[in-house]
Structure 1
Amino acid sequence: VFGMPEEDGLLLAHHLGRALQLTNILRDIDEDAGLGRLYLPREALLHAGITSDDPVKVAAERALPKVCLPLADRAKRHFEQADEVMKRNSRRAVRAPRIMEKYYRAILELLLARGFAAPREPVRVGKLARIAIILRYAII
């Protein structure tokens, strides 16, 4: 995976994949609800006292931050573990995963700064920030 030794490649795929997916879930709550989809874990919803199965109702719940903040923490831990794997490997081998990690970490930070209470504005990594990530990690 990524041209790395097998164990590190699998670890990186595991942790980075989970971090990216959790970030996508948190970023797309409203878009997914509009499409009739809900990807937040049932256990986390119930723990926050949210019992509805209706994605639009769930997206409007006042308790939604109680679901999202622990997921964001999980994503951060996976990013940190992915980062540890990338630090052990050559910059060239981790170029693509590093760019993905930095871009999605920036999205997660924007989500945390914005918060998860409704109404939520979409977050986007600015053009200059995207260019900076590419220049820093794509060019060797």
Structure 2
Amino acid sequence: MTLEATADNTDYGTAASGSSFYAAMRILPRAQRDAMFLIYSFCRQVDDIADSDGPRDERLAAIQQWRDDIDALYEGHPPPRLRDYAATVKRFGLKREDFQAVIDGMEMDIPQNIRAPDLATLDLYCDRVASAVGRLSVRVFGMPEEDGILLAHHLGRALQLTNILRDIDEDAGLGRLYLPREALLLAGITGDDPVRVINDRNLPKVCAALVTRAKAHFEKSDEIMKRNRRRAVRAPRIMSKYYHAVLELLLARGFAPPREPVRVNKLTKIGIILRYALI
């Protein structure tokens, strides 16, 4: 599951202190909270490489260095920037392959901008940049193995698809288009030029298909959280309810241009925190 609802598509681009992620993580016991902020820091640093405007070959080299550094961490000689991670990795049983999956996901945007991926590629992207973060997170939350992995699968995809729907215009400004090719073709939209696609009159049909997918993943994640200990799922519940509120705002606004940005108001945020963190 992604860590933050921000202005960028992969969630780590603003200060955590102003985020739904920060609110959800503040309710955790100290050790879990510290672990989650280490995961957040890792994701943000890798994402910053993917979203920078530096030369692509330099960004690929920087991403590879992170890959090498994660390997070094798990081989028992972490580099300075990962020295604080060793105890957390051991305490919560965090998996090397999940860190590496996040790196692989961020890298997908570097050789060339993602534009109208097929559904399989889009799902792989969501798994790497969102569900892999979720697999790290559920270990920190203390969820049972099987349900934890299932929750990461469904909630991660629900959150990432919501991000994609929310950030259509901003992503197009970066030359990116995450809407799946199959949905575009079904709506009669050909080509993958982001600006042209987001201004097509049939865009709402494409978005409706993604909304349906996101809702199905939200429903599955709700089923999983309902059958688990309330304390273990407080943080993911807060993230889920926040993102679901974003999705509802997008549906109320619609996807035809011009599209005003949507934001969850402060009262709604407070209500989510009160209901799922304190009561």
Pairwise TM-score range, normalised by the shorter structure: over 0.9
Query: Which of the numbers 122, 127, 132 marks the counterpart of 2:266?
Result: 127
CA deviation string 1:75-122 (max 9, x = no partner):
011000000000001110001100000000000000111111111111
Q: Give the gaps of 5 or more residues in structure 1.
A: none
Cα distance in 1 between the residues matched to 2:159 and 2:142: 20
Describe the SS at the equivalent of 1:46.
Answer: helix
Q: Report the counterpart of residue 159 of structure 2 in structure 1.
A: 20
CA RMSD of aligned residues (A): 0.9
Which letter maps to 1:90? R
Which letter maps to 1:27? R
Is 1:48 aligned to 2:48, yes or no?
no
Describe the SS at the equivalent of 2:231.
Answer: coil
1:101-140 mapped onto 2 (5 Å cutoff):
101-140=240-279
Q: Give the gaps of 5 or more residues in structure 2.
A: 1-137
TM-score, normalising length: structure 2:
0.49
Describe the SS at the equivalent of 1:138.
Answer: helix
Displacement over 4 Å in runs of 4+: none
Identical aligned residues as a percent: 81
Cα distance in 2 between the residues matched to 1:16 and 1:91: 16
Which letter maps to 1:62? R
Query: What's the CA shift for 1:40?
Result: 0.5
Which letter maps to 1:126? N
Q: What number of residue pairs does the alignment pair up?
A: 140
Cα distance in 1 between the residues matched to 2:143 and 2:247: 26
Using CA pairs below 8 Å that are at least 6 residues apart, which structure has the higher relative contact order? 1
Query: What's the CA shift for 1:52?
Result: 2.2
Q: Report the counterpart of residue 30 of structure 1 in structure 2.
A: 169
Which letter maps to 1:45? L
TM-score, normalising length: structure 1:
0.97
Which letter maps to 2:223? E
Q: Report the counterpart of residue 63 of structure 1 in structure 2.
A: 202
Which letter maps to 2:181? R
Cα distance in 1 between the residues matched to 2:205 and 2:271: 33
